[in-house]
Amino acid sequence: MSFVTAHVLDASAGRPATGVAVTLSDASGGVLAEAVTNDDGRVTDLGPDALEPGTYEVRFASGAHFAAQGVACFHPYVPVVFTVEAGQAHYHVPLLLSPFAYTTYRGS
């Protein structure tokens, strides 16, 4: 398991969101890792084993996910910007997604 993991649940379908492209970037926009959610809507390998303290972004390609299902979507992507602090062992970024809304929090 990498330092950053993610999980996407499609609230409108009531199931995990499979095949969602997920990107981890640093504060300057440099891409550190790219992955796609598995059948359980999870990404367990997103980037390195550790990150320096600072600001990072996990971007979820929500628009492409819904377009593949023929569903209109308000958000072409969902950017989750967060701060990595020294001494932390892991960051989990869950996303509860629907075509017109989303919510996120720091998971465990």
pLDDT tens figures, 89-100: 899 999 999 999
Q: How far apart are CA 88 and CA 12, in angstroms?
A: 33
Answer CATH for 4-104 from 3.60.21.10, 3.40.33.10, 2.60.40.180, 2.40.50.700: 2.60.40.180
List the binding residues.
7, 42, 105
* Contact between 24 and 47 (Cβ < 8 Å): yes
List the binding residues for substrate.
7, 42, 105
Nearest Cα to Cα of residue 29 among 48, 2, 56 = 56
* Tens-digit pLDDT profile for residues 3-42: 999 999 999 999 999 999 999 999 999 999 999 999 999 9
